[in-house]
Amino acid sequence: EFVEKVKNILIRHDLKRDYLKGLIITHKHADHCRGGGYFINNSKMNIENFLINGDYVHNTPIVRDLLNNGRKNISNWVNVNLPGKIFEGSTIINIVNPDTNTKNNNINNSSISLSIEFKNYKLFMTGDIGRTVLLNKYSRGCNCNKETKNFFKVSHHGSYSGTDRTVLNLLNPETAFISAGNNRRYGHPHHEVLDMIIKFGCNLKISKRIGKDLCYCFKGGKIYCSII
């Protein structure tokens, strides 16, 4: 079912339903890569590039399955362990994190985090990095001004460890999205973060409340959201 939804999203963007230019694994925690091995091996999609931070080992069955199926099916691997830029047509993908080998065993702060620029839009895809790392990395030339339409994938599922008012002031998002499941173990998203984002004036969507898959489109100076 998930594979078909991914293919439908590609079709909505006028792309080939059986081809991905790249698959990014933000980090090796289970909630960010569970099912990745199955997707790679069984989706029957041609995946050209596999992007992952290879500078640390997190030896779990889920990670082993992901890496083994990646080796069998994707020929080009990119070890994302330094800041950089990827140019794809008029889109610029800025890799703002990580910038060092993970030595403090904080896998969340090793998340691959992006700032994606397209025309007058900016998309901040932060993974699970904490707010201290987020502020440090995204304050380096992200040019988060009021002339752009900024979309914020809220860090760490709406945890208070990932977002505060300083983060919102820096990124100045028009629209924010929180990816959180129904597992109540950690209580994500945290109420204080939700209140803060709403008071900031963001258009906020939360996956666990919607209960359906969403597709965001950026067109004509506006950000559109539709249910898949």
Q: What is the mean pLDDT of each run of 10 residues along the chain (228 residues)?
A: 90 92 95 95 96 92 97 96 91 88 72 92 93 91 71 92 93 90 75 92 82 77 76
Helices (H), 78-224: 131-138, 165-171, 191-200, 207-210
Any residues with CB less than 8 A from the CB of 184 and at least 6 apart, and which? none
Beta carbons of 124 and 173 less than 8 angstroms apart: yes
* β-bridge partners, 205: 177
Closest CA to 129 of 116, 121, 138: 138
Please report, as a single letter, which amino acid is at residue 159.
S
Please report, as a single letter, which amino acid is at residue 42.
N
Beta carbons of 178 and 206 less than 8 angstroms apart: yes
Any residues with CB less than 8 A from the CB of 71 and at least 6 apart, and which? none
- Give the model's pLDDT for residue 62: 97
- Give the model's pLDDT for residue 65: 97
Beta carbons of 85 and 93 less than 8 angstroms apart: yes
H/E segment holding residue 33: helix 30-33
Beta carbons of 60 and 30 less than 8 angstroms apart: yes
Beta carbons of 52 and 80 less than 8 angstroms apart: yes
d(CA 72, CA 10) in angstroms, rounded, equals 24
Q: Is this structure's pTM higher than 0.85?
A: yes
φ, ψ dihedrals at 222, nearest 5°: -135, 155
Dihedral of the alpha carbons of 9, 13, 17, 20, in degrees to the nearest 10? -90
* β-bridge partners, 191: none
Strands 84-88 vs 91-97: parallel, antiparallel or unpaired? antiparallel
- Give the model's pLDDT for residue 207: 77
